[in-house]
Structure 1
Amino acid sequence: MTQVLRERLAALGMSVDGAAITPLSGGDSGAALWRVDGATPCIVKRDTPERVAGEADGLRALSGACRKLIVPEVLAEDDDLLVMQFLEGTGKRDGAALGEGLRQLHRDSRDADAGHGWPRDNACGLTPQPNAPLADGRAFQRDRRLLPLMRGCRERGALDAALAGRVERAADSLERWLEQAPPSLVHGDLWSGNVLFTPQGPAIIDPAVYRHYPEVDVAMLTLFGGPGDAFFEAYWDGDRPADWERREALFQLYPLLNHLYLFGGTYRQGVARAADRILAG
């Protein structure tokens, strides 16, 4: 495979003569990854053409909107192959810089005239992510995020009727407490593993972008750990929503359903807790 990869990269105009090519773990995404230490160090990902195109589109969108966060440059894209700038994750952890950068991204990309969603579908992990825009963000969260995954979990036997009913009631409650708001560009899958602290500052990788409530990204950062007090102080800048705990539960419910859909019953209790927090208010 290494020789085939060299030939494909050379055909894309990449200088790989004598370059070391090291296989990397693709994690849960199922993609094949390599680090190429050539004249321009890069990461090469092989995935389905649809997922490659979706990720490249997301990286370009974030790169155009981020002024204070680093986004890897797309160096080449060819069918099932994505070539990206290599970023060294050896910098000092800086939660304040991450919070300030994410706040800038969400604030400056807010667009009252844009729908919630994205012009193309993409994927969150291995799960296809439907993004057909809707004017109302609450309808988008219900009809493009929560209910499709709830039904998928039911079909796989990962969700019983009682818990599915609680998830559906939580989804149907949104107009009663969540205000309509202009959408921001969101990373869409911003768990801690998709944040790198480089020597030049924080970077975000592996996006699943769309436009929606900015708390999508903040809630994802708190799902498997936490970014620390300095992050929140910088991100909220004194303007933390009074109902943050309920919003956090809402925007964690989608990734928890996704994990339940992909990996099974270990995540059932997380889904139940999030649904109950939403319903309790």
Structure 2
Amino acid sequence: MRFAEELGTSHGRRLRRGVLDDGRAVFVKSGPASEVLVSEAAGLRWLGEVAAVPEVIEAEPDRLVLAWVREERPDRAAAERFGRMLARMHRAGAERFGAPWPGFIAELPMDNADAPDWATFYGERRVLPFLREARLPASDVALVERAVARLPEVAGPAEPPARIHGDLWSGNVLWSCGQGVLIDPAAHGGHRETDLAMLDLFGLPRLDRVLGAYREEWPLAEGWRERVPVHQLHPLLVHVVLYGGGYRDSLMAAVRRVLSL
């Protein structure tokens, strides 16, 4: 393989476009050996059983090689196709909450151990661990803990574990060949509303079309829109941990909305 273009860095890892000996273009992510890239590859393969993802060509602790995704602008048909695909992916399900591989979001570890229900999993495996790392004022910590205590009341109807991407912001959806292609997953068995809330958090082109097609494929439980801030607690805490207090106001606004449900 030869390298054709430097693409910068992301979370301490070098990104490059390469060309294999057979002429295929590839995306290469490399850096210090760790479980992060192997975990990403496991998630891509799992999601790829039922959704569009880049082919995993090589996965080593220090290097991940994926088929290159040629990007294009999404149109209405692509957005609707993506919504239906996302619903089918979620519906494919998972054996349990969490996953059998180590979890990561960016370079931050996540506990993928099972839990008896989603509210417990989300509170104990996703929200509280990041709250302990966020260095928030004690008053903020107390409010987040109150919101976590309310999760069993505000989580909505119980659903079986869905097969979710886990970090589905707009930058992790590439548009290619008339469909959305998923990259950089934090894949695990979780709640399907989590992926949809993440798309809403940072915006996605033609999101209304995506959600409309999703609901035609697999209707959402009543009250799902009101539960969006519940599912945004974790990603907002992740951003506080990674990038500092600039995301505190958004986090605390979501917390107050959860407490008002």
The reply to whether TM is greater than 0.5 is yes
Q: Distance in 1 between matches of 2:220 and 2:118?
A: 20
Segments of 5+ residues of structure 2 without an aligned counterpart are none
Report the Cα distance in structure 2 between the residues aligned to 1:255 and 1:86, rounded to whole angstroms. Answer: 27
Residue in 1 that maps onto 2:177: 199
Q: 1:49 aligns with which of 29, 34, 37?
A: 34
- 1:116 match: secondary structure: coil
Distance 1:200 1:240 in 2: 25
The reply to whether residue 97 of structure 1 matches residue 81 of structure 2 is yes
CA distance 1:260–1:20, change in 2 (3 Å): closer
Aligned-residue offset at 1:130? 1.2
Q: Secondary structure at the match of 1:242?
A: coil
Q: Provide the alpha-carbon RMSD of the alignment.
A: 1.6
2:122 matches 1:153: no
Cross-structure match for 2:99: 118
**Alpha-carbon deviation of 1:53?**
0.7
CA distance in 1, matches of 2:74, 2:173: 12
TM-score after normalising by structure 1: 0.85
Deviation at 1:186, TM superposition (A): 0.5
1:230 to 209, 221, 233: 209
Shift of 1:241: 3.2
For the residues of structure 2 that align with 1:269 and 1:81, how far apart are their CA atoms?
36
Q: Could you tell me how far apart the structure 1 residues matched to 2:241 and 2:114 are?
A: 23
1:1-281 aligned within 5 A? 16=1, 19-27=2-10, 29-38=11-20, 39-47=23-31, 48-66=33-51, 70-93=52-75, 94-107=78-91, 109-111=92-94, 114-154=95-135, 159-178=136-155, 179-227=157-205, 228-237=207-216, 239-281=219-261
What amino acid is aligned across from residue 205 of structure 1 in structure 2? I
Q: How many angstroms apart in 1 are the aligned matches of 2:137 and 2:221? A: 33
Partner amino acid, structure 2, of 1:264? G
SS at match of 1:45: strand
Q: Give aligned-pair identity as a percent.
A: 35
1:51, CA displacement in angstroms? Answer: 0.6
> 2: distance between equivalents of 1:92 and 1:163?
39
Gaps of 5+ in 1: 1-15
Q: Distance in 1 between matches of 2:97 and 2:3?
A: 43
Work out the CA distance in 2 between the residues paired with 1:98 and 1:205.
Answer: 14
The structure having more radius of gyration, on CA atoms, is 1
Q: 2:121, 2:61 → 1: CA distance?
A: 30
Q: Normalised by the size of structure 2, how large is the TM-score?
A: 0.91
- Which structure exhibits the higher relative contact order, with contacts defined as CA atoms closer than 8 Å and separated by 6 or more residues? 2
